[in-house]
Structure formats: structure tokens, C-alpha cells
């Protein structure tokens, strides 16, 4: 079945296996870590307009530079997957991310730096490198003109007042909750919830040691 652009954007964000199923495989090693710093996230407020939703949210998050994404998913077989991603988009041409995924007690990792991807499978001590396809962050902000965006009012989640936006395309729909600065706080899609946070907090994402990398 053909996937809509909305489906591809959200599924691509956490590298889930397919639309219509709740999950994929997924895990941490230390190639991504917060740095001790007094740096505070930008408190600049960004205007978010329904007619340019993707563009405006992208601008807000690029201004923050760094953030994290978390989600817990259930596969069609009933397995639970816990995923965490650190993102560094301070250099838009060389986006960096470090994802850890846990499934049935097994942990895997994926580091992306620009167009290079490094994967460490559960139980492995080495990484496999390859060329990455289009990055997940870019997909997230690709909101085509035929997607309908509606502002759905304010809601309080975890003590924070957020603005809710409903997105629809074909038979797919998703809801985004944004902070007053215009940052994504939460996304709900196909019964799954993805949370975002730690905007502007320092993070270090580096390539694995070359001695631990093999070509895919």
C-alpha cells in the first residue's frame, strides 16, 4: 500500500518498519552524551502558521540546534521497543543523530553524521558503516501542500501549556503539540506517541573509533 507523505515523515523519524504496524527493531554505547554546561535553550518565540507549518517548525527547531526524541512502541507481534534519539542540527548540511533502541532485552545503536550511517547490532562490539538514505529530520519537516493543518487549541500536558495542531492527509492523521517557543513537545500518530525535549542542551555525537568500524 502506498504510504502518504505524512506517514513517511513520522515513520522515518524513528526508523519504524512500516506504516500500519507499530514498530521495528531498536538501543547505547556512549558515542552520544550530554556535556556539562550552563548553556540554556533559546527562549525565542517562533511564529507558527498553519499555512507554513512544516517550514515554521523547522525554523524553530534549527534555532534550538539540539533536542532529543523518545518513544515506546509495540510491534504487531507484541514486542515492546523503546527508542531514544539525540539530535544535533546546528549544522543543517551535516545533521548528526545517535539512536539507541531496546527490544526484548537487546540493545542496538545507530549513529548518523551527514550521509554516513554507523550501526551496531545487539551483542556486537563493532560498527558497520554505510551511506545513509535521506535523514529523518528532513522528512519530519516535509509537509506537502495537500496536508491539512488545523490549530486545535491549547492543552496542558505534564504541567506545560501546549498548542495542539491536527494534521491530515488521505486516510492518515497526526497531532502535534508545540511549546510556546514553537518547538515540538509531542506527536501522536497511529496510536503511538513520540516526545521531544532538551532543546538547546549541549550534546556530543561523534563517529565510532575507526578501529571498531567495518564497511557494510
**Which DSSP symbol is given to 210?**
G
Domains of the chain, CATH where assigned: 25-215 (2.50.20.10)
pTM score: 0.80
User: What is the pLDDT averaged over residues 58-85?
Assistant: 88
pLDDT in tens, 157-215: 989 999 999 998 878 888 999 999 999 999 988 788 889 999 999 999 999 999 999 98
Residue 110 confidence (pLDDT) above 70: yes
- Name the CA dihedral angle for 95, 186, 9, 144, rounded to a multiple of 10 degrees: -110
Does residue 14 sit in helix, strand or coil?
Answer: coil
| pLDDT score at 111 | 95
Beta strands in the chain (DSSP E): 32-34, 66-74, 80-88, 96-103, 106-113, 116-120, 127-131, 148-157, 160-169, 172-178, 184-189, 192-197, 203-205, 213-215
pLDDT of residue 32: 53
How would you class 14 by CB atoms within 10 Å of its CB: exposed for 0-12, middle for 13-18, buried for 19 or more? Answer: buried
Average pLDDT over residues 142-151: 76
Query: Given this model, what pLDDT does residue 38 score?
Result: 31
Longest alpha-carbon distance in the chain: 52
pLDDT in tens, 7-59: 656 655 544 433 433 333 333 344 554 443 333 455 688 999 999 998 898 88
Is the per-residue pLDDT at 127 higher than 60? yes
Q: For the chain, what is the mean pLDDT? A: 80
pLDDT of 6 above 90: no
What values do phi and psi take at 13, rounded to 5?
A: -55, -45
Amino acid at each position: 500500500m502506498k504510504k502518504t507523505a505524512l506517514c513517511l515523515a513520522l515513520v522515518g523519524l524513528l526508523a519504524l518498519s512500516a506504516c500500519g504496524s507499530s514498530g521495528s527493531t531498536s538501543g547505547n554505547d556512549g558515542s552520544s552524551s550530554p556535556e556539562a554546561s550552563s548553556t540554556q535553550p533559546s527562549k525565542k518565540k517562533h511564529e507558527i502558521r498553519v499555512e507554513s507549518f512544516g517550514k515554521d517548525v523547522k525554523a524553530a527547531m534549527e534555532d534550538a540546534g539540539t533536542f532529543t526524541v523518545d518513544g515506546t512502541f509495540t510491534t504487531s507481534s507484541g514486542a515492546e521497543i523503546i527508542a531514544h534519539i539525540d539530535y544535533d542540527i546546528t549544522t543543517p548540511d551535516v545533521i548528526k543523530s545517535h539512536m539507541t533502541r531496546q527490544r526484548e532485552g537487546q540493545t542496538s545503536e545507530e549513529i548518523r553524521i551527514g550521509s554516513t550511517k554507523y550501526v551496531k547490532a545487539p551483542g556486537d562490539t563493532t560498527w558497520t558503516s554505510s551511506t545513509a538514505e535521506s535523514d529523518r529530520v528532513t522528512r519530519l519537516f516535509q509537509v506537502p501542500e495537500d496536508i491539512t493543518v488545523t490549530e486545535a487549541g491549547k492543552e496542558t500536558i505534564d504541567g506545560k501549556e501546549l498548542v495542539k495542531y491536527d494534521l491530515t492527509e488521505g486516510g492518515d492523521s497526526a497531532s502535534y503539540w508545540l511549546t510556546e517557543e514553537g518547538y515540538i513537545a509531542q506527536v501522536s500518530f497511529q496510536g503511538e506517541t513520540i516526545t521531544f525535549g532538551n532543546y538547546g542542551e549541549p550534546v556530543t555525537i561523534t563517529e565510532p573509533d575507526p578501529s571498531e568500524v567495518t564497511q557494510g
